[in-house]
Amino acid sequence: MPRRSLLAAVTGATVLALVTATTPALAQPVAPGAPAAGQCSDEPRDLPVHEFTDHRELGVELSRIERVSGGAVDVTEVGRSNRGREVWAARVGTGPKAVLITSEIHGNEKTGTDAILRLLDFLGTSDSPKAERWRSEVTVVAIPKMNPDGAELDRRGNDMTWDEVTARFPQLRGSEPAWNYYTTPRQGDDYAQRPGFDVNRDYNPDLSYEPKAEDFPGTSADTGWYITPESRIVRDVYKGLVAEFGEVDTYVDLHHQGACYVMPDDPGRFVTLSISGKFVDDPATTPGYEEYADTYDLDYSKQLNVAVYNALQGRANNNPLFGNITLYPQDTNLPGTGLGSFALNGSGAVLFEVRGQTQTLGQKYRAQLTQAVYIGLDGMLSSIASGQVENLDPAVYDTIPPRGPSIGDAAERRSLQVLEP
């Protein structure tokens, strides 16, 4: 596959060592587990990712967890990707609060899948009081690697052509393709040969929406259409949970962002993780969205994010990496994202944006970044299960430091802004 030719012949570690050696002024003392910011690049490269869980391994691991859990974890195939790969949901717990967690909607953002597997293993096999409380108070439904075609290609978009869309939805023949249809190179991937969609612009808060020709090509500020099988699968799981529980208490979507953001008060520290609970403008004051004003609960999303933040700050003494947490930019208005659409339907919403996608960091910090996601999920679930989340002050959310600037290459930085979350 032709991609990421630049620097492909040497490993990321070698590159870092080379550039650092030529710029001693930027070298920082390196705390254990906390790589100091020095040189950083968002330029796409070919880097190994085999330590992450691929689609085949995911199936094996989910089966194993289901087996050893003795019935606590139930794994089902909830649909197939456009190229026919299984999409699985794993369900554990019998509590009244439904928590939906998804990962790898962008296939080059992989730590979330590994964190989910660890979470399922704990929830399914531990007889600790903590695990028992989680299982009795919460019902967790996880859809790891929800875009398996993109994940196998190790790229952001899914693997689907506009012709395939119009074959499924004949009413769209003759329409201009959706604005989020990728046909040109980005992030080092050749979409000209294999086009695809950003699945995370394909959601619509109207959970019964079917694609209409007059709604294309759309824009980032508009809702999506459920034209991809992957977004429809998650939508259907979400609707099923609404039918069963009345609402989905919490929706978490696990992503990665650019590799080179630094803390606002310290350009020597990279941002490990940015979080957010806000994805859309206030529906009460947004024309066309008034119907969602009563269900939308930004304060609850803020409380959930505070639980995530507190858990990570509590671990910062052990590992400074977990102290480098910021808010994701709060000026996003993306109703076509899963988080935006489900937040409008009343779910508390939490975005994780881990440092660096695979084309910039590969698997280099896999274990630590996966651990950061796990700690955040652990803190959030503990807070939901105990009810403490209701006592957290939403105003604390607004005191979480904002993300600092990116110190990466300017050209790549510009393109990043349209490639998040």
- Interacting residue ranges for Zn ion, rule: CB under 5 A: 106, 109, 255
**334 or 384: whose CB is closer to Zn ion?**
334
Nearest to 292 by CA among 304, 307, 281, 278: 281
Nearest distance from residue 28's CB to Zn ion, in Å? 28
**322 or 328: whose CB is closer to Zn ion?**
328
**42 or 66: whose CB is closer to Zn ion?**
42
CA separation for the pair 261, 35 (Å, rounded): 13
**106 or 302: whose CB is closer to Zn ion?**
106
Nearest distance from residue 254's CB to Zn ion, in Å? 9
Which residue has its beta carbon closest to Zn ion? 255
**194 or 256: whose CB is closer to Zn ion?**
256
Tokens of residue 376, six digits: 């955040």
Nearest distance from residue 421's CB to Zn ion, in Å? 5
Nearest distance from residue 406's CB to Zn ion, in Å? 16
Nearest distance from residue 340's CB to Zn ion, in Å? 13
**Cis omega (within 30 of 0) on the bond before 421?**
yes
Nearest to 270 by CA among 4, 41, 25, 7: 41
Backbone φ and ψ of 244, nearest 5°: -85, -40
Q: Are 123 and 137 in contact (CB under 8 A)?
A: no
**Residue tagged 């977990």 (tokens):** 322
Nearest distance from residue 103's CB to Zn ion, in Å? 10
How distant is the alpha carbon of residue 134 from its chain centre? 22
Nearest distance from residue 339's CB to Zn ion, in Å? 11
E strand or H helix at 256: strand 250-257
Nearest distance from residue 13's CB to Zn ion, in Å? 25
Distance (Å) of CA 135 to CA 73, 107, 127, 369: 10, 29, 10, 26
Tokens of residue 298, six digits: 């930004």
Q: Are 45 and 6 in contact (CB under 8 A)?
A: yes
How distant is the alpha carbon of residue 405 from its chain centre? 21
Burial of 412 per CB tally in 10 Å (0-12, 13-18, 19+): buried
**Cis omega (within 30 of 0) on the bond before 217?**
yes
Nearest distance from residue 419's CB to Zn ion, in Å? 8
Nearest distance from residue 359's CB to Zn ion, in Å? 13
Nearest distance from residue 392's CB to Zn ion, in Å? 26
**396 or 419: whose CB is closer to Zn ion?**
419
**156 or 315: whose CB is closer to Zn ion?**
156
**109 or 249: whose CB is closer to Zn ion?**
109
DSSP secondary structure string, 78-120?
EEE-TTS-EEEEEEE---SEEEEEEE-SSTT--HHHHHHHHHH
**214 or 331: whose CB is closer to Zn ion?**
331
Pairing of strands 196-197, 250-257: unpaired
**109 or 137: whose CB is closer to Zn ion?**
109
> How big is the chain by its Cα radius of gyration, in Å?
20
Q: Are 77 and 88 in contact (CB under 8 A)?
A: yes
**135 or 255: whose CB is closer to Zn ion?**
255
Pairing of strands 138-143, 86-92: antiparallel
